[in-house]
Amino acid sequence: MAWRTVRKHWVIALATAVGVFLLVAFYTLGQKKIYQATATIQFDPNPPRPLGRGVDAVVEMGTGSYWNNREYYETQYKIIQSMRVALAVVRDLSLHNDSAFLENLPPGRPGSGKTVTPEEAAEVLRERLAVDPVKESRLAIVRFTDADAQRAQRVLSVVVNTYVEQNLEDVLASTDSAVEWLRTQLDKLKGDLEASEMALHEYKIDKHILSVAIDDQSNMLREEMKQLNEALTLVRTRREEFRARRDELAKVKASDPVDLPSSELLQSVTLQTLRERYEETVREQKALLGEGKGPRHPDMRAAEERVGATKAALLSEVKNIQGALDRDLAVVSRQEGALAGLFGRAQKQAFDLNLLEIEYNRLRRSKDNTEKLYALVLERTKEADLTRMMRVNNIRVPDPPLVQRKPIRPRVPMNLAAGLLAGVGLGVAAALGRAMLDRTLKTPDDVEQELGLPFLGLLPEISPEEKHAKGKRPRPRRGGRGGGTSRELIVHEQPFSGAAEAARAVRTNLLFMAPDNPYRILLITSAGPSEGKTTVACCIATAMAQAEQRVIMVDCDLRRPRLHRVFGKGTDVGVTTALLDGELPSDEVMRTEVPNLWVLPAGPLPPNPAELFHSARFRMLLDQLSARFDRVIIDSPPVVAVTDAAILSTLSEGTVLVARAFKTQRELARHGVKSLLDVGGTAAGVVLNAVDLDRQEYRYYHYYSYKKEGYYGQVDGDPEARPDDRPGDSAAAS
């Protein structure tokens, strides 16, 4: 569809494409030639380290984790394009006094001689300077454009050199600042170190501490406290032992001193002997009792005395042991107290020594820290001095700028190709836009898609050659009219023309629309005026008359009637007079020069046409006409302009809507169809009138053969053969 539209409006498309291409070509060839100088800059993450990898630089130059941050690269790109670099370049080359640079003139063309401030010239330079990073690398491409290739190379060289030098100067300036700060801190730390050393020395003198006495005294006190603790523990153990023996001896009963602790018996031979004697006397006494001697027996008394003596001796020995234990316990207690005092004094000396050691360690730690910091700052100061003297830079220029021989703009082949593509695209767009702006009905597809009605056929536009066909003598009209062929009667006067064949095709389509109940009363109307409805009505009526049918045309356009002029009739007799008289005129009055065709003109024009069509007499008139003739063809006013056609559509069996190709607006035609359907009329279909078959839209329609080849039904080349003699045509007409 789009291709067909473009082919239809190929002139507009071609003119637009050629115009755009020529404009692009003239614009491209008229542009100023612009040259571009390029240079490659490398950011080295591992610059030379003469002092070794173990020496860190005072100022970071890209090494370390900071290098991995993308912000570093972006910062360097902005620095290259910075005002600082641009101003340095402008002042170095005096670009603010170079009018050719400021106006970007090609070589050989003198400038206007104007001068600007260095800041303004720097802005001009920055506008032509660009930095593009190279993907997945540490390289960047610096570009500068100018109308002079040599000037572009010269300016870019100074830009690159200025950036490299400023980068090194920034590093050296930062290093100098760091060195000055380190030296200031070094002097301060030196004073702090000396003060801390004197404070430590004075503390030792004040506290009588030798250089190594603190640790020795601490070790001696720890050993002494260890020995005192062991002796005190031993004394306390002995005290508890004596106390336990005394408590055990206290449990000995006077009535039965035999029950003595085994430990005491083992330690005291005397106590063991006395116990054995006591036990022996007790056995002797029991033996005497066993012999039956009484208590008064001298032996028994002697035995009791021996028992009492041994018992008293045993108890006395127990008391002696208890007394000895009490004395030992007292001695041990005094020893414990003395040892505890010694241990307490040693512990106090340890605490005092700890306090001395804490203060001593604090002073010594302060001195050590200051000494370490002083050594570190001293080392960094020496390294910074060496780094500053080496002047190491991490920016390199692998590819310096060169003079370019080919301009980058304008790109003539690319611009011409783009102009050609743009021209073709705009040409296609112009053709499609022209087609979209054209809201008229043009093709049968437009009729069926826009109106939703069947397409009955089209009538070609009658050319001058057809109106004055060779070998055809014009027939005089009744009423004095004569001359060339009339558009309305071309089907009769030129039955072998394309228009005649097209009319017969419309007739055939109408007959086949309802083969069982063919339309007897057919209304011909249009949406708007001047669309050829009267011509179409005459052609259809003539084609039906040629099919041996009695056809009458009724001119119901009571506002602007035309049928009486077409057939040379008068205006004194017609539809209005028939309605008033109640009877039709005679056949002779209504007969035309076309065989089997009669016409009923409009007659005198009434002031109220719509009311006449609503009357019962008009319905009776249609009934009379339908009874006397096979087909009744009604010509009516436009359906949108007045209501006459809408009223007549309700009285007709079918309505044919006429649309003029490339004139009838789609919206107007849809409005006309809606007006017919709203009143209950029957729309038979649409006829497309005044079609130029030479146009591209109708190339593939079979009607094309009607105009170019004539009637294809001619038999053996006989030009006088009637179309009705074609096999099957009469059957179709019936």
The model's pLDDT over 77-96, given as tens digits with 9 standing for 90+, comes to: 999 999 999 999 999 999 99
pLDDT of residue 299: 80
Per-residue pLDDT at 327: 85
Phi first, then psi: what are they for 602, rounded to 5°?
-75, -35
The average confidence (pLDDT) of the chain is 81
The residue count of the chain comes to 734
640 has pLDDT over 80: yes
Q: Report the relative pairing of strands 395-399 and 551-555 from DSSP bridges.
A: unpaired
pLDDT of residue 497: 86
Neighbours of 319 (CB within 10 A): 12
Residue 724: pLDDT band with limits 50, 70, 90: very low
| Average pLDDT over every residue of 565-584 | 90
Environment class of residue 262 by beta-carbon count within 10 Å: exposed (0-12), middle (13-18) or buried (19+)? exposed
Rounded average pLDDT over 64-75: 69
Nearest to 407 by CA among 28, 146, 140: 146
* pTM, to two decimals: 0.49
Contact 527, 640 (CB under 8 A): yes
H/E element holding 41? Answer: strand 35-43
Task: Give CA separation, 655 vs 65, 266, 652, in Å.
Answer: 90, 155, 7
Q: What are the distances in angstroms from CA 260 to CA 270, 279, 293, 603, 613?
A: 13, 12, 31, 174, 162
For tokens 């003029």, what's the residue?
660
Q: C-alpha 449: how far from its chain's center?
A: 40
Tens of pLDDT, residue by residue over 278-317, are 778 888 878 888 887 777 788 888 888 887 888 788 788 7
Q: For 678, left (φ over 0), alpha (ψ -120 to 50), or beta? A: alpha
What is the Cα–Cα distance from 578 to 580, expressed in whole angstroms? 5
Does residue 474 contact residue 496 with C-beta atoms inside 8 Å? no
- Decide if pLDDT at 677 tops 60: yes
CB neighbourhood size of 405 (10 A): 7
Sign for the CA dihedral angle at 479, 485, 489, 492 comes to: positive
> Which pLDDT belongs to residue 484?
47
pLDDT digits (tens, 9 = 90+) for 306-335: 878 887 887 887 788 878 878 888 888 888
Instruction: Report, in angstroms and rounded to the nearest whole number, the Rg of the chain calculated over CA atoms.
Output: 69
Look at residue 704 in the predicted model and tell me its pLDDT.
Answer: 40
Instruction: Quote the CA–CA distance of 668 and 676 in Å, as a whole number.
Output: 13
* Residue 520 banded pLDDT, cuts 50, 70, 90: very high
- Give the tens place of pLDDT for each residue, 147-190: 999 999 999 999 999 999 998 888 778 777 888 888 888 888 88
| pLDDT for residue 209 | 66
- pLDDT computed for residue 581 by the predictor: 86
Q: Once rounded to an integer, what is the mean pLDDT over residues 525-545?
A: 93
- Tens of pLDDT, residue by residue over 542-555, are 999 999 999 999 99
Binned at pLDDT 50, 70 and 90, residue 594 comes out as: very high
Q: Output the pLDDT for position 727.
A: 32
First to last CA, the chain: 39
Measured CA to CA, the distance from residue 94 to residue 401 in angstroms comes to: 20
Evaluate if residue 474 carries a pLDDT over 50.
no
Q: What is the 3-state secondary structure (H, E, C) of 272-331?
A: HHHHHHHHHHHHHHHHHHHCCCCCCCHHHHHHHHHHHHHHHHHHHHHHHHHHHHHHHHHH
Q: How far apart are CA 55 and CA 379, in angstroms?
A: 10
Q: Mean pLDDT, to the nearest integer, of 6-21?
A: 83
